[in-house]
Amino acid sequence: MTKRESEITRREFIGAIAGAAAGLAAAEARGQAGPAKVYPKSGKLLRIGIIGGRFGLSFQWHEHPNCRVAAVCDILADRRQALQETYLCDKAYTDWRELVRDPGLDAVGVFTPAPLHVEMVVGALEAGKHVISAVPAGTNEQECVRLIETVRRTGRLYMMAETSYYRREIITAREMAAKGEFGEIIYSESEYHHDGLSPLWWEADGRPTWRHGYPPMWYPTHCIGMIVPVTGERLAEVTAVGWGEMDDLLRGNPYNNPFYSETAFFKTSGGHSARVAVYWKVASGGIERGQFFGTNMSFYMPLPGDVPARVARRSGGQVVQNRYAESGINTEPIEVGDHYDLLPEPLRHSSGHGGSHTHLTHEFVTACLEGRRPTVDVHEAVAFTVPGFYAHQSALEEGILKKIPDYGRG
């Protein structure tokens, strides 16, 4: 056997033994006579090709029991080699167009610079492949509409790898919302602070990268990808404010963007409010978090300085003459689980962006094999992306209110 075949066989054997043992242990804990449901759910195999040797290295396709990386692609030799070594893959391409035409692939992962996403995704979909793509869905509204139309026309699956959807705290918040624990969520807010991003604006030889001056609100999915999944509502209207020093680093950027940071205030389709803050220059220590305020309970994600996640709950309370009597609010830290029970055994470990990468890996693989809509399908991806274009335009127009179109649901 080749090195790759030997490693895969060994991994399959260990995974099967570990999965069976975990299933038996769980069954014994519940007092059942037989084993629990053990992954893999089927004997099917998804053959995926990965384009992009930076972010594309950070997923667990090679660990999933129902997935194999059958080809990789990057224009740079060192990145191709890193992809091959990480994913135990023999086949490598330098041209993404050749990879998407490979008949040995069922799916493609696009993990390249944002301006390339739609071209590559559309090419892969039209080649008959299912696609998972890095964020954002597109760099303008027209690209997002093209994605929806292409998915509809080809019948292939599309998923955006939005990490916020599967952060541990957001999984917890989504579960709380599904159980009705919040009551009515009247206000949500989320923040993505990436201070010190400017070194990524330039190549080593001084040429600008696609990130040079990229408008903050054109990269809103890490924030909106928290709010929309928890509230279940679309963002319908926006007014926004931008801030920037227009120093030498911002000058001459291809987007004509004058802002380092942008703050947007949204009205939701349910008549509630939400705030989104995407900052490229701010002394905050780096933040990717959200919080949700409900009539019965509120939830706060952790803060810098080891401040844990917290909930605030009403301690009773009654209505007296159409007013709430003094009832008090109990605020306490909350233990946020790892949610490993949602994953097959080989993927039950820490991963990037708050534990989200293993969940994204598993969701895409199983959605493809089961022929079902993935959680962050093309409609959700567009709902996470398009509001940012309107927020940025509002900021450019000194906060004028903008109506945001709703492109529907899957």
CATH number of the domain encompassing residue 399: 3.30.360.10
51 has a pLDDT exceeding 60: yes
Same domain, 114 and 178: no
Tens-digit pLDDT profile for residues 218-233: 999 999 999 999 999 9
- Assess if residue 64 is contained within a domain: yes
Joined tokens for residue 104: 């040995």
Q: What is the pLDDT of residue 369?
A: 97
Question: Does residue 235 carry a pLDDT above 50?
Answer: yes
Q: Are residues 144 and 230 in the same domain?
A: no
* pLDDT at position 327: 59
- Is the pLDDT at 26 greater than 80? The verdict is no
120 and 255, same structural domain?
A: no
Of 347 and 245, which is predicted with more confidence? 347
In a domain, 22, yes or no: yes
Asked if 178 and 229 sit in the same domain, the reply is yes
Are 243 and 303 members of one domain? yes
pLDDT at 321 over 50: no
* Mean pLDDT calculated for residue range 93-103: 98
Burial bucket for residue 69 (CB in 10 Å: 0-12, 13-18, 19+): buried
- 176: Cα separation from own chain's centroid: 19
Q: Please check whether residue 117 lies inside any domain of the structure.
A: yes
Tens digit of each residue's pLDDT (9 = 90 or more) over 259-309 = 999 999 999 999 999 999 999 999 987 789 999 999 999 999 998 888 899
What does the pLDDT read at residue 410?
83
Under 8 Å between Cβ of 106 and 48: yes
pLDDT at 322: 46
Tokens representing 235 are 């963002």
Q: Of the candidates 282, 246, 275, 247, which has an alpha carbon nearest to the alpha carbon of residue 261?
A: 282
163, 190, 219 — which closes off a domain? 163
Q: What mean pLDDT value characterizes the chain? A: 88
Domain co-membership, 194 together with 298:
yes
Q: Is residue 61 part of a domain?
A: yes
353 domain-assigned? no
- Among 132, 147, 163, which residue terminates a domain? 163
Q: Please provide the DSSP assignment of 91-130 as one string.
A: -EES-HHHHHT-TT-SEEEE-S-GGGHHHHHHHHHHTT-E
pLDDT over 70 percentage in the chain? 87
Q: What is the CATH number of the domain that holds 30?
A: 3.40.50.720
95 and 228 belong to one structural domain: no
Neighbouring C-beta atoms of residue 196, cutoff 10 Å? 10
Co-location of 133 and 63 in the same domain: yes
In-domain check, residue 357:
no
72 is a domain residue: yes
Domain coverage including residue 143: 3-163
Calpha distance 169→378 (Å, rounded): 23
115, 58: one domain: yes
Q: Which amino acid is at 295?
A: T
For 121-141, what is the mean pLDDT? 98
Q: Which of 65-69, 249-253, 283-287 has the highest mean pLDDT?
A: 65-69
Q: Do 300 and 179 belong to one domain?
A: yes
pLDDT of 216 above 90: yes
pLDDT classification of 5: cutoffs 50, 70, 90:
very low
184 and 272 co-located in one domain: yes
Of 138, 163, 188, the last residue of a domain is 163
Q: Of 23-27, 29-33, 348-352, 383-387, which range is least confident?
A: 29-33
Q: Do 193 and 282 touch, CB atoms closer than 8 A?
A: yes
CA atoms within 13 A on the CB side of 275: 13
Instruction: Decide if 169 is inside a domain.
Output: yes
Same domain, 157 and 147: yes
Q: How many domains does the chain have?
A: 2
